[in-house]
Amino acid sequence: MPSKELSEDQIKHVLQGIRIPPQPQIMVDLQMEQAMPDPDISRIADLISKDVGLAGTILKIVNSPFFGLSNKITSVGQAVNLLSFNSVINIVNGLTIRSEMSDEDIVALNRFWDSANDISMVAATIAKEIGYKHHDEAYLLGLFHNCGIPLMMKRFGVEDYSNTMTAAYGADSERIIDIENDKYNTNHAVVGYYTAKAWNMPTHLCAAIAEHHNLKQLFIDPEGIDSEKKNLIAILKLADHICASCKVLGGQSTDHEWNRYGSKILEHIGLGTYDIEDMAARFSEMGISVGDSFID
């Protein structure tokens, strides 16, 4: 994230040719209901039920192994009761980005969408296990930290941008986004930041999206870094590593970013190599796709 606010002209230059999806009307309606002194959960469920894709996604998440329910939930109202309001908002936003893509692009990005869902659930679980109380925020960051990627692909073409990501993840450089900056004069973290900001997501989460590849600044030279943002990004990067983002997004078997900064990240959240191997094994049993290095 920039150290100061950019002017409108600078923002237009950075985002030239990239359309930020507007907040959908259902999102506005949900936020209005949230702002009520006593939000009506039945009203929220009714709004969600009007969107087949949203209702189906929420039921799928509630019936996933992470909830461990003995019987499957078929009622949107029951599902909304089990999820926090923030989680519902997060899911709506995720579907909004997907709705901006063509069917052809969505097929090409299926692994990206699946990875985003896996990372969000893994991040929320890690947050709970290390005692980080804002696990909803960890889920949100996991879901949206790469939301700029499909928008970059839409702007520059799936093949061109995929090749750039392969080069970025294959280079043992300080920041993955540097190769994007050189080629496009912007990167997915910047685009993700402005998308999150346009959707009125909390300021500190917008900042975490912007800075999730600035790991040297966060973990090697951390003077003056906000601790909450550092905690969230540490959880995110561990989830990224367990879910092998380097392979999903960059086609690489080696996670250069983790090799460079992973020890500092683990030190920050108080975990060791055995802990993450144990986590990865449990996630794999739940049907989450984990990196090859965690599979016997």
Residue 169 has a pLDDT of 95
Across 236-261, average pLDDT:
93
> Is 177 found in the same domain as 254?
yes
CATH number at residue 163: 1.10.3210.10
The percent of residues above 90 in pLDDT, for the chain, comes to 31
- 210 has a pLDDT exceeding 90: yes
How far apart are alpha carbons 28 and 191 in whole angstroms?
Answer: 22
Which own/partner contact pairs does 119-123 have at CB distance under 8 Å and 24+ positions apart?
A: 119/143, 119/145, 119/236, 119/239, 119/240, 119/243, 119/245, 120/90, 120/239, 121/64, 121/66, 121/288, 122/239, 122/242, 122/243, 122/279, 122/283, 122/288, 123/235, 123/236, 123/238, 123/239
pLDDT at residue number 75: 78
Shared domain check, 127 and 34: no
pTM score of the predicted model = 0.75
Rounded to whole angstroms, the Cα distance separating 137 from 50 reads 26
259-282 average pLDDT score: 92
Lowest mean pLDDT across 65-74, 199-208, 272-281:
65-74
What is the arithmetic mean of pLDDT over 23-40? 73
Do 218 and 71 sit in the same domain of this protein? no
Give how many domains the chain has, as a whole number: 2
One domain for residues 88 and 122:
no
- Among the listed ranges 23-32, 163-172, 197-206, 225-234, which one has the minimum average pLDDT value? 23-32
Q: What is the pLDDT at residue 201?
A: 73
All residues at 6 or more sequence positions from 84 whose CB lies less than 8 Å from its CB, including other chains: 136
Asked if 188 and 145 sit in the same domain, the reply is: yes
Structural domain ending residue among the three candidates 100, 117, 138 = 100
Whether residue 74 is found in the same domain as residue 191: no
Does the structure show a pLDDT above 60 at 6? no
Average pLDDT, the chain: 81
Q: Summarize pLDDT for 164-192 with one digit per residue, the tens.
A: 999 999 998 889 999 999 999 889 999 98
Cβ neighbour number for residue 29 with a 10 Å cutoff: 15
Query: Do residues 220 and 261 both lie within one domain?
Result: yes
Structure token digits, residue 245? 């983002």
Q: Is residue 282 part of a domain?
A: yes
Range of the domain at 272: 102-294
Dihedral in degrees, nearest 10, Cα atoms 55, 208, 248, 255: -150
**Is the pLDDT score of 292 beyond 80?**
yes
Residue 70 located in a structural domain: yes
94-150 pLDDT, tens digit per residue, is: 666 666 656 666 655 666 777 887 898 899 899 999 999 888 788 878 888 988 888
Q: Are residues 119 and 231 in the same domain?
A: yes
Give the three-class secondary structure for 291: coil
In this predicted structure, the answer to whether residue 279 has a pLDDT above a threshold of 80 is yes
Residues 146 and 226 in one domain: yes
Residue 11 has a pLDDT of 56
In this structure, are 143 and 207 located in the same domain? Answer: yes
Q: What is the pLDDT of residues 74-110, one digit of tens each?
A: 777 888 888 777 677 667 766 666 666 566 666 556 6
Q: Residue 39: CB partners within 8 Å, gap ≥ 6?
A: 33, 85
Q: What is the pLDDT of residue 79?
A: 82
24 band by pLDDT with thresholds 50, 70 and 90: low
Domain assignment present for residue 11? The answer is: no
In a domain, 4, yes or no: no
